[in-house]
Amino acid sequence: MIEVKELTKDYHIRKGLFKPFNIVNAVKGVSFSINQGEKIGLIGLNGAGKSTLMKMMSGVLKPTSGSVRVNGFVPYKRENSFLKSIGVVMGQKSILLYDIPVKDSLKYYKEVYGIDDKTFKERLSYYDEILNLKELYETPVRKLSFGQRMRCELCASLLHNPKILFLDEPSIGLDAVSKLAVRDFIKRINAEKGTTVILTTHDMQDIEALTHRVMLIGKGQILLDGSLEELKKRVSDKKEVRIKHSGKTPTLCEGMNYLEQKDDKLKISLDPKMISVSEGIAYLSRETELIDLEVSDISAEEMVARLYKEYQI
Ligand code: ADP
């Protein structure tokens, strides 16, 4: 559905009228493909090229060279049928009309996309069920909190039921309740409507909750592309063991290392190549009085930190 080949974007910037142009290679010859229904997370430090890549896929920017095809369309040509097949939500930019009530903004997009009354009603009630919009319909957009606006933004961007949703930092600046509502919404439209979701994020919970495939972008290139599980394994096959104890702090045996210690809680990394998980647990329970125990793979956050280190980005 999305085919990207040798895609490149250079920005030409100059700091003054008579100054020479500087070239910034924001995206450097990347290639990948994405299938219908995938949930992709683009991660990387600021300036890595994530937004530029997303803007080329969504038709906001014309590539310098290489090609991008989205459902057969060339995005930057911005043909109507292409625009009707995508939804774009950029955290900082609003597509809602500032001074009028939310419901009128939604009606405006109903007309823009030529949606009939019955479908409009059905979609609104579907979106309202997940995003709790009804109470906001009469409020002018300028009076909405950021979280409320984001919920309305999602509704307006998806009113036409696009096949692909592009999201730039969907949960940045959101309060906890809106964050969950937004995540729930994205998960549901993917599961129930098969919408392809492509998002950039710095939020590791977003990645855990919303993506099944992660692309790590660094200096305009794709450094890694794989499932979260694969990436975690690649970085480390170590386990994280968290315990709460009421006895003395246990000394650790070979194959275990302290990660964090706070009062009666301890975070340990365990190397299964040196000691099996069950041996490790047996050892710890001999060492101290265990109250609680949890074994997990390393967290997404830690994974990303290590990847950044590995690739020195
Ligand atoms: P990210 O989304 O990963 O933070 P961007 O795609 O925004 O990265 O930026 C990639 C590189 O391109 C950065 O070096 C950035 O400064 C540069 N850049 C982005 N947009 C522009 C622009 N409109 N003009 C000039 N340079 C830009």
Q: Are 208 and 186 in contact (CB under 8 A)?
A: no
Would you say the CB of residue 92 lies under 6 angstroms from ligand 1?
Answer: no
Angle (nearest 5°) at CA 117 between 115 and 123? 70
Which ligand 1 atom sits nearest the alpha carbon of residue 53? Answer: 6
Which ligand 1 atom sits nearest the alpha carbon of residue 217? Answer: 3
Question: 51 CA to middle of ligand 1, Å?
Answer: 7
Give SS3 for 177: helix
How many CA atoms are closer than 13 Å to the CA of 211, on its beta-carbon side? Answer: 32
Of 21, 24, 169, best ligand 1 pocket probe by most atoms within 8 Å of the beta carbon: 24
Kindly state the tokens that stand for 235: 């970085």
Q: Are 97 and 104 in contact (CB under 8 A)?
A: yes
Of 7, 10, 11, 61, best ligand 1 pocket probe by most atoms within 8 Å of the beta carbon: 11
Would you say the CB of residue 23 lies under 6 angstroms from ligand 1?
Answer: no
Q: Which residue has the tokens 């990387």?
A: 44
CA distance from start to end of the chain: 30
Would you say the CB of residue 11 lies under 6 angstroms from ligand 1?
Answer: yes
Q: pTM for this one?
A: 0.83
In terms of phi and psi (left: phi > 0; alpha: psi -120 to 50; beta: otherwise), the region of 263 is left
- pLDDT tens, 143-175? 988 888 888 999 999 999 999 999 998 888 888
Would you say the CB of residue 47 lies under 6 angstroms from ligand 1?
Answer: yes
User: What single string gives the DSSP state of each residue in 46-87?
Assistant: TTSSHHHHHHHHTTSS--SEEEEEETTB-GGG--HHHHTTEE
SS3 content of the chain, % helix, strand, coil (to 5): 35, 30, 35
Low-confidence ranges of the chain (pLDDT < 50): none
CA-based nearest residue to 43, from 229, 211, 275: 211
Q: Are 225 and 32 in contact (CB under 8 A)?
A: yes
For residue 79, the tally of other CB atoms under 10 A from its CB is 12
CA-based nearest residue to 75, from 14, 85, 154, 151: 85
Cβ-in-10-Å burial (0-12, 13-18, 19+) of 37 comes to middle
- pLDDT tens, 205-236? 888 889 999 999 989 999 899 998 888 777 77
* CA–CA gap between residue 146 and residue 152 (Å, rounded): 10
Question: 110 CA to middle of ligand 1, Å?
Answer: 33
The confidence score (pLDDT) of residue 245 equals: 93
Q: Are 12 and 22 in contact (CB under 8 A)?
A: yes
The confidence score (pLDDT) of residue 4 equals: 97
Would you say the CB of residue 94 lies under 6 angstroms from ligand 1?
Answer: no
The confidence score (pLDDT) of residue 189 equals: 93
DSSP at 89: E
* CA–CA gap between residue 194 and residue 72 (Å, rounded): 18
DSSP at 27: E
CA-based nearest residue to 32, from 2, 60, 53, 62: 2
The confidence score (pLDDT) of residue 313 equals: 60
DSSP at 9: E
Question: 87 CA to middle of ligand 1, Å?
Answer: 22
